[in-house]
Amino acid sequence: MDKEAIRTCLERYRQGAATMEESVEAISRMPYEDMGFAQLDHHREMRQGFPEVIYAEGKTNEQTRGIFSRLLAESKKSVMATRVSKDMAAFVRETVPEAVYDEASRILYVRRNVEAADESRRVLVLTAGTSDIPVAREAALTAELLGNAVDTCFDVGVAGIHRLFAHEKEIMRANVIIVVAGMEGALASVVGGMTARPVIAVPTSVGYGASFRGLSALLAMLNSCAAGVAVMNIDNGYGAGVLASKINKER
């Protein structure tokens, strides 16, 4: 839903192409749609500039397919679902063959009408280790679908900090930096101390027992001595991509 959809509906009524009842019914569906198992927020695109995104984990294949199809029908912009399994993606693509599945990030999406990215304002996504890549890919692809130029540097954690310094140029040219790390989560503090740009830290559930499935990294990032580091929830790459996009597009 966007303002143009409302204008089109009203114009059809004014020209006699739609009855009063048809117009009222069309406009009544615009704020939200009751599917019984879900209340689709079609108004979100107008409020926030991007349609509702589906969190697929915990949903059935049929529910995800139904929601995905309705969002695709009601929006002109990209539609995406996060935390989608390979089997669920295949099931949805039987009905929506144009949907693309990114197995690394577990995002299923249809890319439409993405605004041209400002190449001078780039988002950089860093990971401490290779095991953090799935969450990083979720953040990077989300930012891309929101119209940002995105760079990635993987496996540059503090256990071999010379690998991070080799990417100093990318760090210095980025407008927003997302740091994805598990274990002790130290990479966010190091990067936060290297740049004046905002840093979004994402703790991951990667690590041995005392990492407590990401809690250790989360607490370390919250206690960062580097100023200007914001912290997302554990494994929330999607949230980091959205926040990075909002910061990146502020003028």
Query: Could you state, in order of their start, the residue ranges of all structural domains in the chain?
Result: 1-30, 34-110, 122-248
Q: Distance (Å, rounded) from C-alpha 22 to C-alpha 12?
A: 10
Residue 16 has a pLDDT of 84
For residue 24, give the 3-state DSSP assignment: helix
Token pair 């991007």 is at which residue?
A: 50
Structure tokens at 40: 């689709």
pLDDT of residue 30: 63
What pTM value is reported for the model? 0.84
Please give the average pLDDT of every successive group of 10 residues along the chain, which has 251 residues. Answer: 69 82 69 73 75 92 94 86 96 95 96 84 95 97 94 92 91 95 93 93 95 95 91 96 92 68
- The CATH number of 122-248, from 1.10.10.10, 3.90.1150.10, 3.40.50.1970, 3.30.70.2740, is 3.40.50.1970
The predicted pLDDT at position 150 comes to 95
E strands, the chain, are 33-34, 39-40, 54-55, 79-82, 100-102, 107-110, 122-127, 149-153, 174-181, 199-203, 229-231
Which residue, chain included where needed, has tokens 């500039």? 49
Residue with tokens 């089997």: 87
Q: Which pLDDT score, from 0 to 100, does residue 249 have?
A: 86
CA atoms lying within 13 Å on the CB side of residue 45? 21
Helix (H) or strand (E) holding 243: helix 237-248
